[in-house]
Amino acid sequence: MSFTIIAETNGDSLHPTTYQLISAASNVGAKSIVICPNGEAASEASKIEGVEKVISVVGDCFDIFDGSAWSAALNSVCEGKILISASPNGREIGARIAAKRNIPIIQDIVSMSEGITVTRPIYSGKAVETLTISGDAVITLRPNAFEAAALGNEAPINIVNQSADIKIAIQEAINKASERLDVTEADIIISGGRGMGSIDNFSHLEKIADIVGAAVGASRAVVDEWGMPHRMQVGQTGKTVTPSLYIAVGISGAIQHLAGMRSSKYILAINKDPDAPIFGVADYGIVSTWEEAIPALESALSELKS
Amino acid sequence: MKLVRLVKLKHKKTFERHRGENMNIAVLLKQVPDTTAKITISAGKVDESLVSKWSMSPYDEYALESGLQMKEASGGVLIAITCGPERAKKMLTDAAAVGADTLVHISDEGVKDSTHVQKLLAAAVKKFGADIVLCGKQAADTNGGSTGPGVAEILEVACVTLVSEVNYEDGKITTIRPSSMGTEKVSLNGMGVFAFDKGSSELRRPNVRGIMMAKKKVIESITSGDLGVELGISNITLDSQTPPPAKAAGQKFEGAEHVPTVVSKLRNEANVI
Tens digit of pLDDT for each residue in A97-125? Answer: 999 999 999 999 999 999 999 999 999 88
A169 lies in some domain: no
A199-203, A290-294, B269-273 — which is least confidently predicted?
B269-273
Instruction: Give the pLDDT confidence score for residue A177 in this predicted structure.
Output: 62
Count of structural domains within chain A? 2
CB contact under 8 A, A104 and B236: yes
Task: List CB contacts (< 8 A) between A268 and chain B.
Answer: 262, 266
Instruction: Give the pLDDT confidence score for residue B3 in this predicted structure.
Output: 47
Q: Measuring CA to CA, how many Å separate B99 from each of A256, B71, B94, B96, B132?
A: 28, 9, 9, 5, 17
- The shortest C-alpha distance from B228 to chain A (Å) reads 16
Instruction: Give the pLDDT confidence score for residue A3 in this predicted structure.
Output: 98
A9 lies in some domain: yes
Mean of pLDDT values over A200-219: 95
Q: Are residues A8 and A146 in the same domain?
A: yes
A216 beta partners: A190
pLDDT at B14 over 60: no
- Amino acid making up residue A162: Q
pLDDT at B203 over 50: yes
pLDDT at B63 over 80: yes
Mean of pLDDT values over B136-154: 96
Residues 6 or more apart in contact with residue A249 via CB below 8 angstroms = A190, A191, A192, A193, A195, A196, A205, A270, A271, A290, A293, A294
The continuous run of DSSP H or E covering B159 comes out as strand B158-163
Q: Are residues A259 and A152 in the same domain?
A: no
Q: Are residues A116 and A227 in the same domain?
A: no
Candidate from A167, A212, A279 with C-beta closest to B188: A167
Question: What is the band of A178 on the pLDDT scale with cuts at 50, 70, 90?
Answer: low
Q: Is B167 on the interface with A (CB under 8 A)?
A: no
- Put simply, the chain B residues between 176 and 205 with a CB less than 8 A from any chain A CB are 176, 178-179, 181-190, 192, 197-198, 200
pLDDT at B126 over 90: yes
Summarize pLDDT for A246-291 with one digit per residue, the tens. Answer: 999 999 999 999 999 998 999 999 999 999 999 999 999 999 999 9
**Structure pTM?**
0.88
- The shortest C-alpha distance from B134 to chain A (Å) reads 15
Q: What is the mean pLDDT of chain B?
A: 90
Test mutation, B263, B265, B267, B268, chain A, max A CBs within 10 A: B263
CB contact under 8 A, B244 and A236: no
Q: Is B211 on the interface with A (CB under 8 A)?
A: no
d(CA A33, CA A51): 6
User: CA quadruple B59, B62, B64, B70: dihedral positive or negative?
Assistant: negative
Instruction: Give the pLDDT confidence score for residue B65 in this predicted structure.
Output: 96
Topology of the domain covering B2-227? Rossmann fold (3.40.50)
Q: Are residues A142 and A240 in the same domain?
A: no
A167 lies in some domain: no
CATH number, position A66: 3.40.50.620
Q: What are the phi and psi torsion angles at A203 (to 5°)?
A: -60, -30
Q: Are residues A145 and A269 in the same domain?
A: no
Instruction: Give the pLDDT confidence score for residue B19 in this predicted structure.
Output: 43
A43-47, A248-252, A255-259, B166-170 — which is least confidently predicted?
B166-170
pLDDT at A91 over 60: yes
CB contact under 8 A, B255 and A288: yes
d(CA A140, CA A132): 15
A137 touches A106 (CB < 8 A): yes
Mean of pLDDT values over B162-179: 85
pLDDT at B11 over 50: no
CATH number, position A284: 3.40.50.1220
Mean of pLDDT values over B16-21: 45
DSSP A255-290: HHHHHHHTTSSEEEEEES-TT-GGGGT-SEEEES-H
Range of the domain at A128: 2-161
d(CA A95, CA A137): 10
Q: Verify cis geometry, omega within 30 degrees of 0, for the bond prior to A97.
A: no
Q: Are residues A140 and A223 in the same domain?
A: no
A57 lies in some domain: yes
pLDDT at B12 over 50: no
B116 touches A99 (CB < 8 A): no
Q: Are residues A35 and A150 in the same domain?
A: yes
d(CA B249, CA A284): 9
Instruction: Give the pLDDT confidence score for residue A179 in this predicted structure.
Output: 66
Q: Are residues A45 and A90 in the same domain?
A: yes
Q: Are residues A195 and A135 in the same domain?
A: no
- The shortest C-alpha distance from B40 to chain A (Å) reads 9
d(CA B157, CA A161): 23
- Amino acid making up residue B260: P
SS percent in chain B: helix, strand, coil, step 5:
35, 30, 35
Q: Are residues A273 and A205 in the same domain?
A: yes
The continuous run of DSSP H or E covering A44 comes out as helix A42-46
Q: Is B95 on the interface with A (CB under 8 A)?
A: no
pLDDT at A73 over 50: yes
Task: List CB contacts (< 8 A) between B247 and chain A.
Answer: 281
Most confident of A44-48, A231-235, B34-38, B263-267: A44-48
pLDDT at B171 over 80: no
Task: List CB contacts (< 8 A) between B179 and chain A.
Answer: 173
Rounded (5°) CA angle B72-B77-B79 = 120
A58 lies in some domain: yes
Task: Give the chain A residue nearest B47 (alpha carbons).
Answer: A127
Neighbours of B218 (CB within 10 A): 8
Test mutation, B6, B35, B47, B138, chain A, max A CBs within 10 A: B35
Instruction: Give the pLDDT confidence score for residue B190 in this predicted structure.
Output: 77
Q: What percent of chain B has pLDDT over 90?
A: 75
**ipTM for the complex shown:** 0.88
